Amino acid sequence: MTRGRLVVHAHFYQPMRVDPFTGELPPDPTAAPYRDWNERITAECYRPNAAQGSLAHASWDLGPTLSHYLADAAPDVLAGFVEADRRGGGRDAGPGIAQAFHHSILPFAPRHDRRTEIRWGLRDFEVRFGRPAAAIWFPETAIDLATLRVAAEAGVRGTVLAPWQADTAHLDRRAYRVDLGEGRHIAVAFYDGDLSSSVSFDASLTSDAHAFARERIAPRLSAPLADGTAPTIVIASDGELYGHHQHFRDLFLRALVDPAPGSPDRGFDVVTLASLLAEPANRPHPEIRIRERTSWSCHHGVLRWGAECPDVPDGRWKAPLRGALDRLSGAIDAVTEAFAAELPGLDDVWHARNGYVDVILGLVGADDYAAACLGPHSTADDRQRLATILEAQRWRLAMFASDGWYWDDPTRPETAQNLLAAARAVRMVDGLSGTRLEMRLLADLSVMRSPAMGIDGSTIYRHALAEVGQPPPQC
C-alpha cells in the first residue's frame, strides 16, 4: 500500500458586480472600510492566501468573473495564483482547475449555452495560467449527464462533486468514473461530507490544523481499501472561508496543506485534485452513476435556483423569474439567428459566440474578431452588427448567474445584477432590430413578487435601472 492522500479544494468565486452599461464596479458602502466587497474579500482572503504559498499545495478553482477582477484591480494577487499553479505541478497535475464562466446552473441551460459557458471557462483558465485545465468546477456542482457530456466533449477529464450526488449509499475513498456513452467518460472525486462540513462550519474543530490532521484525517487514511489501493479523502469548501468568512482560517489552510519543516509525519500526503483524477492506464477508476440535476449546496436537487425549495421560506418568486429570463433568452436567440442568416461569410453564429470570450478577455478587439468571423470582404456595418449581437449574447448569458436565485428575496443586489444584465442584453437587441422585447420582459416580470417587500418584478427591474442611472423602460 502507498500512503493515504488528502486533497483540500477551495472554490474561489465572486459574482459579477460591474455595471453592465459602463463596465465600472460601483462603490458599495456596506463593504466599509473598503470601497467594495471585491476589494474587501481580496484583502481578507485572496491576497493572504496567495502570499503565504498555501495555494501551491491546496487544490482550487478561480472563477472567471473573479480572475477578471483580479487582473484589473489586483494583478499581483492573480500573479500569486499563477505562480502557485506553476510551483504546484503545472500542466497536468497543477492545483488549479477551471470553472464554468458565469456561475449559472447548467442543468437549466440549453445545450448551446452549456457549451459556451464551459468553453469560456476553459479558455479563461488557459489564458490566465498558460495551460489547459484537466478538470472543471461546475457552479454549485450542479450537474446532469448532458452537462457532463458537453464538458467531456470540450476536453474536460474530471470534476469534484458532493457525496449525495452519487447514486449509491456507499462510497469508497477514491476517484470514480462516470460513463457518458459513445466511448466517453469523466472522472469524479466525491468530497468527504463530514470533514468538509467541519472545515466550513465548525470553528471548534479547526482551531488547530495539526490536531485536525492527526485526529480527524489520519485515522480515515490509515487502512487500505479492499483492493489494496491507498485511500484518498477530498475536503471541499468555499475558498472565501479561508480569511473572509472565518478570520485567520487562511493560517489553518496553510498548516493543513503545507506543515512547517520539522513537523511530525502525519502518515499521509497532500496531493492535487488533478493528480487524484488522473486515471492510471493499468487500473481504470471504478464506474459509478450520478444523481441527475443535483448540487452541493441544496439537498433538493436544483430547486433552489428554479422553483420552491424547502430551504427557503417563500421561493414562489424563483420560477417566474427564471421563466421570464428563459423567454427573453429564447427571443434574443431568435433575433440572433435571424441577423446571423443575413451576414455574408458567417458559418455558425454559435461557434462565433464560443470564440467571443477572447474579446471579453481583451485578447482581440470586437471589430477585429467580427472581421475574422465574416471574412476579408466584410463591411463595417456587418462587423458592427455581429459585434453587437455577440455582446448582447454575453450579457444574456450573464443574466443567469446562480446568485440571483440563491437567497430568500429578489430585492437583493444579486438579483438586481441579473436584471441589469438582462436590461443590457435586451436594449442592445431592441436597438439593433427594432423589437420591443423589453416590454415583454416587463410583462413577464410583473407576475413575480418579493416576499419581503410585496413589490413585483417589473418594479424591481425599474429600481435596478434607476440605481445605475439608466433611463426607465419606454412604454
Residue range 442-465, pLDDT digits in tens: 999 999 999 999 999 999 999 999
Biggest distance spanned by C-alpha atoms of the chain: 72
Residue-wise pLDDT for 34-68, tens only, equals: 999 999 999 999 999 999 999 999 999 999 999 99
Residue-wise pLDDT for 334-378, tens only, equals: 999 999 999 999 999 999 999 999 999 999 999 999 999 999 999
Yes or no: say if 8 and 235 are a contact pair by the CB < 8 Å rule: yes
- The pLDDT, as a whole number, for residue 433 is 96
Residue-wise pLDDT for 97-108, tens only, equals: 999 999 999 999
How many alpha carbons lie under 13 Å from residue 375 in its C-beta half-sphere?
7
Residue 281 pLDDT grade (very low, low, confident, very high; cuts 50, 70, 90): confident
Which H or E run contains 418?
helix 413-433
What domains are defined for the chain? 4-277 (3.20.110.20), 307-467 (no CATH)
Q: Strand locations in 199-336, DSSP E?
A: 232-238, 268-270
Question: What's the mean pLDDT when you consider all of the chain?
Answer: 96
Calpha distance 412→417 (Å, rounded): 9
Calpha distance 464→468 (Å, rounded): 7
pTM: 0.97
Tell me the mean pLDDT in the region 212-232.
94
Instruction: Tell whether the model's pLDDT for residue 1 goes beyond 60.
Output: no
Residue 169 pLDDT grade (very low, low, confident, very high; cuts 50, 70, 90): confident
Tell me the mean pLDDT in the region 241-267.
94
The rounded percent of the chain whose pLDDT value lies above 90 is: 94
Residue-wise pLDDT for 366-422, tens only, equals: 999 999 999 999 999 999 999 999 999 999 999 999 999 999 999 999 999 999 999
Instruction: Tell whether the model's pLDDT for residue 279 goes beyond 90.
Output: no
Tell me the mean pLDDT in the region 294-299.
93
Calpha distance 339→333 (Å, rounded): 10
Calpha distance 100→60 (Å, rounded): 14
Q: Between 413-433 and 318-341, two packed helices, what is the crossing angle to 10 degrees?
A: 30
Tell me the mean pLDDT in the region 299-311.
93
- The pLDDT, as a whole number, for residue 100 is 98
Which range (202-206, 315-319, 468-472) has the least confidence?
202-206
Classify residue 77 by burial, with Cβ atoms within 10 Å: 0-12, 13-18, 19+. buried
